[in-house]
């Protein structure tokens, strides 16, 4: 496997990146960088590189565009972000620059992200609580932890998280999207997320 770069724009760092690390770490070497740029050796290594931001302005988006072009089949996850000047433009530039073999995964519950992603030309998946989401959470229960049903492509999979926060439902949805792209099945993903 060549280096896979997954860029994640999220304001739920622990829930989203933690869930992704738990799933992907079962098969791959995962290196995570948050709110910083990866080192050169990270870009050359044979691993999965998670590059997370809670905000991405135009100048940093330009740097990420160069990195994305060096990856085989990059994945961009748009979950949520800390609003600041230039972030919408920065994310739009990154979405426009994604190569053909990339995947875009976005939170359909967030109106701004949905708008930014509407003209994407690459393969895309949506996640959220909205009925139109490709990876949809439903029947959420909080009882010492969080459990819900993940609905994907006519299949329903129970999901459990030890943390009783809805952010962890989003984390599980993102991890499920990325996991499916990288060859996991929903049963594996559910078990990996349950065992934390």
Residue 193 has pLDDT above 80, yes or no: yes
Q: Where are the alpha helices (DSSP H) in the chain?
A: 13-24, 40-44, 58-69, 87-97, 111-117, 167-181, 186-194
Indicate the pLDDT class of residue 87, thresholds 50, 70 and 90: confident
β-pairing verdict for 146-152 and 30-34: unpaired
Indicate the pLDDT class of residue 73, thresholds 50, 70 and 90: confident
Residue 2 has pLDDT above 70, yes or no: no
pTM as predicted: 0.91
Residue 129 has pLDDT above 60, yes or no: yes
Average pLDDT over residues 24-53: 84
Q: Are 116 and 95 in contact (CB under 8 A)?
A: yes
pLDDT digits 0-9 by tens, 165-175: 889 999 999 99
Structural domains of the chain sorted by starting position, each given as residue range(s) with its CATH number in brackets: 4-194 (3.40.1190.10)
Indicate the pLDDT class of residue 1, thresholds 50, 70 and 90: very low
What per-residue confidence (pLDDT) applies to 42? 73
Q: Quote the tokens at residue 107.
A: 């939170």
What per-residue confidence (pLDDT) applies to 57? 67
């Amino acid at each position: 496997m060549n280096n896979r770069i997954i860029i994640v724009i999220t304001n739920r760092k622990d829930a989203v990146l933690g869930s992704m690390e738990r799933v992907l770490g079962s098969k791959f070497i995962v290196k995570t960088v948050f709110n910083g740029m990866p080192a050169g050796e990270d870009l050359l290594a044979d691993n999965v590189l998670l590059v997370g931001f809670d905000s991405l302005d135009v100048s940093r988006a330009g740097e990420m565009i160069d990195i994305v072009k060096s990856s085989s089949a990059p994945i961009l996850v748009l979950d949520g972000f800390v609003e600041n000047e230039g972030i919408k433009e920065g994310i739009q530039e990154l979405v426009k620059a994604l190569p053909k073999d990339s995947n875009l995964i976005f939170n359909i519950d967030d109106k701004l992200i949905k708008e930014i992603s509407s003209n994407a030309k690459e393969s895309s998946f949506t996640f959220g609580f909205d009925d139109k989401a490709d990876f949809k959470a439903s029947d959420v229960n909080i009882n010492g932890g969080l459990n819900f049903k993940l609905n994907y492509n006519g299949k329903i999979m129970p999901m459990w998280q030890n943390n009783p926060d809805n952010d962890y439902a989003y984390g599980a949805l993102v991890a499920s999207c990325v996991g499916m792209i990288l060859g996991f099945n929903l049963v594996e993903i559910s078990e990996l997320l349950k065992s934390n």
